[in-house]
């Protein structure tokens, strides 16, 4: 399927699209116009009081992720930071998939060992037969019924912070403290529109005009963040918060994927000194860098998005050693975990495969 005419002014797509293959034309690109993300999710919440019918309970739910996915990465980071690994298990989809979306092809027998399903689609259909929207990660599945409870990535991490408190580890950080919520929401809101989703609006733009507009917004927002972070270690307050968790997965993927594959190429992350030091600081903080699988991430984007990478060749670089260089941001002060402390090592079964990460 050829790409949409890159030089003609685009029409804005009438319906929002999912970040998935479009059955009709095998593309992720929104032909002729802007990538317009569908943000209608399954919004059922898992809460301490169970008011939506799903109560927080250890061993009752499974978080389904793919290592490549930045939206899923946030849930993985928060789960690690809060020490919820023994309470909320994790299922890892393989890096590549087809039109029917994510599979458990890395698991023995290509079946998730807990849910006993081969495709994430099965859990969506168990909740909503013939679910017509994107079969996306992250998703939380109720283990006894095998039904997806929610795929609302933004609410998911907030609920891990505020509803699962009874099961947080000792020393877990306050990622969404009440007195900073307005500021976190403001910062995270712009990060979502211009940066997290902005890279996708560059990569999946269906017209030159849509691409240029997304590119300009992306780098304007990155400049804003460079200014903001020049003299403060974290985005909001003096500790890690949900705002940092929202930004980090996009920065971690920037040079390996977005700079080339999505044409976000005014600068590499490594050429933006403040953001590069900030990203390294977080990367070297337990719970962040140990969730990043650069190899699977490159595979997913470059093999799955065949309309923008028809050869499916996965780039070999970039070199990753530089993620370990000193960042020097301790001089700005800040207390990463506030009154708390860092999480312990990643549980053995969840570690990034040797040679795939940079830890």
Residues within the interface to ligand GSH (CB under 6 A): 19-20, 37, 39, 69, 71, 97, 101, 134-137, 151, 153
- Smallest distance from ligand GSH to CB 73, Å: 9
Please state, as a whole number, how many other Cβ atoms lie within 10 Å of the Cβ of residue 105.
15
Give dist(CA 298, CA 314) in Å, integer: 6
Is 102 annotated in some ligand binding site? yes
Annotation says 200 is catalytic: yes
Q: Which of 200, 211, 278, 301 is catalytic?
A: 200
β 61-66/89-93 pair status: parallel
- The least distance separating ligand GSH from the CB of residue 102, rounded to whole angstroms, comes to 6
What is the smallest separation between the CB atom of 228 and ligand GSH, expressed in angstroms?
A: 23
CA atoms within 13 A on the CB side of 6: 8
SS3 of residue 237 by DSSP = coil
If we measure between CA atoms, which residue out of 113, 120, 149 comes closest to residue 135? 120
- Tokens found for residue 319: 């070199």
Q: How far apart are CA 329 and CA 311, in angstroms?
A: 41
**Nearest residue to 141 (alpha-carbon basis) of 208, 108, 93:** 93
Task: Return d(Cα 131, Cα 138) in angstroms, integer.
Answer: 16
Residue among 161 and 250 whose Cβ is closer to ligand GSH: 250
Residues 308 and 199 sit within 8 Å (Cβ to Cβ)? no
At 332, is the secondary structure helix, strand, or coil? helix
CA–CA dist 28, 85 (Å, integer): 33
Smallest gap, in angstroms, from Cβ of residue 68 to ligand GSH? 7
Among candidate residues 61, 69, 264, 278, the one labeled active-site is 69
- Could you tell me the two tokens for 240? 């890690």
Q: Has 28 been annotated as catalytic?
A: no
C-alpha R_g of the chain: 20
Task: Choose between 28 and 337: whose C-beta lies nearer to ligand GSH.
Answer: 28
CB of 9 to ligand GSH, least distance (A): 26
Encoding tokens for residue 75? 């849930």
- Binding positions are 102
What residues act catalytically? 69, 200
């Amino acid at each position: 399927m050829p790409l949409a005419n890159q030089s003609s002014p685009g029409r804005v797509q009438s319906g929002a699209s999912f970040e998935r293959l479009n059955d009709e034309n095998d593309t992720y690109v929104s032909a002729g116009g802007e990538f317009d993300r569908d943000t209608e999710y399954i919004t059922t919440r898992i809460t301490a009081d169970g008011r939506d019918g799903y109560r927080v309970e250890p061993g009752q739910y499974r978080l389904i992720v793919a290592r490549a996915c930045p939206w899923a990465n946030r849930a993985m980071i928060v789960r690690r930071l809060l020490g919820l690994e023994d309470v909320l298990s994790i299922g890892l989809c393989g890096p590549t998939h087809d039109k029917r979306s994510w599979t458990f092809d890395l698991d023995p027998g290509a079946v998730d060992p807990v849910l006993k399903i081969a495709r994430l689609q099965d859990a969506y259909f168990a909740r909503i037969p013939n679910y017509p929207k994107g079969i996306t990660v992250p998703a939380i599945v109720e283990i006894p019924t095998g039904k997806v409870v929610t795929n609302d990535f933004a609410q998911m991490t907030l609920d891990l912070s505020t509803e699962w408190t009874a099961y947080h580890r000792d020393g877990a950080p306050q990622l969404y403290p009440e007195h900073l919520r307005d500021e976190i929401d403001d910062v995270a809101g712009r990060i979502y529109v211009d940066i997290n989703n902005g890279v996708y609006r560059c990569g999946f733009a269906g017209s030159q005009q849509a691409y240029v507009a997304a590119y300009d917004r992306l780098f304007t927002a990155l400049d804003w963040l460079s200014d903001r972070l020049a003299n403060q270690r974290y985005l909001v307050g003096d500790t890690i918060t949900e705002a940092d968790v929202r930004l980090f997965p996009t920065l971690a993927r920037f040079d390996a994927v977005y700079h080339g594959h999505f044409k976000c190429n005014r600068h590499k992350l490594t050429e933006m000194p403040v953001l590069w030091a900030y990203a390294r600081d977080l990367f070297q903080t337990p719970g962040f860098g140990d969730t990043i699988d650069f190899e699977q991430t490159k595979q997913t984007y470059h093999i799955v998005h065949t309309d923008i990478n028809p050869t499916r060749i996965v780039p070999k670089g970039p070199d990753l050693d530089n993620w370990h260089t000193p960042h020097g941001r301790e001089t700005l002060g800040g207390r990463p975990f506030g009154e708390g402390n860092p999480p312990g090592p990643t549980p053995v079964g969840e570690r990034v495969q040797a040679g795939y990460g940079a830890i």
